[in-house]
Amino acid sequence: MSGRTKNFTLLFVFLAIFVFAGTVCSQSTKSLEISEVDGRPVLFKHLPDSDDAARSAHFFRSSHDLRSAFPGQPVLELIDFAGGTEAAAAQYQSGRMLIVEFISPQASSGTDQKVREFLASRSGPPVAYRRVGNYNVFVFDAPNIDAANTLIDEVKYEKSVQWLGEDPYLLRRVERYFVTTTRDIFISTVLWIIGGIGLSVLAGIVSGFIFFRFREQQRARRETYSDAGGLTRLNLDELSEPIIQE
């Protein structure tokens, strides 16, 4: 092999390695969902005040980049970026927000359990955390926990899943709807019956008391009388006028 051919071969190998490295690097920083309007990751749109937050927003596709951007936060070691997990962060007055989006509810739920157990067992500055849909949302360096929770309230998970074919979970949702509806109807029926019985008893007590007082007033206004026909009788009921002896 001539020297010139050898040089071209080495140059080709270096170019291939460079292109491959660039492709891997771009895949590690490029989002799976890009906005057609501005070419930025769609996850940025779900940050509170996304237009203003875009100035300080950062996008992550690897654990190394995330931990480098948030030093001293061991909870982020629980975030697994395998399978297409993405994260976006931005700075606010209430703290620095991090939204981690998982590709499945199972991955988000599993991480949510680990994060909650870790935060419950650690000591140090408080970290506001909440799961919103498939988002696991953190707020670090917040002045107070209330302000951080208010910031998390502004995060909305607005994605929906549409099946190209038959929904495999349709029967499960129908069963859940039937059970939930039946339960609600049963509970409402029992409450109506108990409420009706209680109102009936209360109305009966009030009506009986009013009728009793009315009859007592009528009886008090009546004059005493005797059914002995003018004859002397025993005044056992104390209704007859006393006999006056002259």
> pLDDT digit string (tens) for 142-184?
888 898 899 999 888 766 555 566 766 678 778 888 888 999 9
- What single-letter DSSP state applies at residue 71? T
Angle at 45 between CA 88 and CA 139, to 5 degrees: 40
Rounded to the nearest 5°, which phi and psi values hold at 204? -65, -40
Neighbours of 67 (CB within 10 A): 16
Under the banding of pLDDT at 50, 70 and 90, the label for residue 112 is very high
- Which residues, 6+ apart, have CB-to-CB distance to 129 below 8 Å? 75, 115, 116, 119, 136, 137, 138, 139
Tell me: the pLDDT tens digits for 21-54? Answer: 343 333 334 445 565 555 577 778 878 887 787 7
Q: Which neighbouring-strand residues pair with 122?
A: none
Min mean pLDDT across 68-77, 93-102, 140-149, 164-173 is at: 164-173
Mean predicted confidence (pLDDT) in 103-110: 86
- pTM, rounded to two decimals: 0.52
